Amino acid sequence: MNLIKEKSFGGERPLFGLEHCRMENIKITDGESGIKFCKDVEVVGSRFLGKYPLWHVDGSLIEDCYFAPESRSAIWYSDHMTMKNCVIDAPKFFREMKDLKISDTVLNDADETFWKVDGLEVRNLKIKDGTYPFMFSKNIYVDGLEADSKYVFQYVRDAEIHNARITTKDAFWETENVTIYDSVLDGEYLGWHSKNLKLVRCHISGEQPLCYVKGLILEDCSFDPACDRCFEDSELQADIKGDITEIKNPKTGKIVVHGSIGRVTIDSFVRKPANCIIKEESR
């Protein structure tokens, strides 16, 4: 593997077409598309300041690197990438990719990040600010995520999420085949219009969670007292630990609450078959 070390590059496509190359302590300064149409590359301990630095890269390791705000839209159309221990201060990262592994990394502006990624493995990731991270992605595995961006995981498919702490608004809308374990989910309108959404040992906060869901399963989950109008027009099987403030117009299924139910609201807007079984069991 060729080695490029301790050099700066600027202008248009300065490292175009490289193959089988390791880059250590380099700097991509101004210009665009510093590393483009490359294959089998490693970039370690480096800094990216220019726009679009890693496009159409097939097979790469990015480790201990920094991406400045000016490096927006930095990594698109790049397959088989592993990223470790990086800090990213720019938006619109990771688009139209396959087989992306990212760990121990911080994204300080997660606006429109992780769009249309097929095959995403996340471990110990922190994302901040911005809107719509992970939108339209599929085949996702997460273990360790802190997120305070808005509209997280919209339109995703086939995802398994562990040990997440998500503070957001309108998360997990129109998802399909998503399972979340041992996580804290704080945000309004969680999971609306989703299919086959399963929550296991999760704590849920925010207004009107889990409405209009088909195939909803909750196992050993708890609800913050501020959660109201839960489960409207949903088809579900739910086992709830502790109290719940309000259940409203579930469509069908069974809800068992191991605590107390503040109120059950069934009004003229409940949809057929309107036969959901609701049970309150003592703790």
pLDDT of residue 1: 81
Confidence of residue 92 (pLDDT cuts 50, 70, 90): very high
Ranges of each domain in the chain: 1-90
pLDDT of residue 30: 85
pLDDT in tens, 163-207: 999 999 899 999 999 999 999 999 999 999 999 999 999 999 999
pLDDT at 283 > cutoff 90: no
CA-wise closest residue to 32 among 76, 64, 66, 1: 76
pLDDT of residue 31: 84
Predicted TM-score (pTM) of the model is: 0.96
Q: Do residues 204 and 227 touch, judged by C-beta distance below 8 A? A: yes
pLDDT in tens, 201-252: 999 999 999 999 999 999 999 999 999 999 999 999 999 999 999 999 999 9
CB neighbours of 163 closer than 8 A, spacing ≥ 6?
A: 143, 144, 145, 181, 182, 183
Q: Which fold has domain 1-90?
A: Pectate Lyase C-like (2.160.20)
What is the mean pLDDT of the segment spanning 33-56?
96
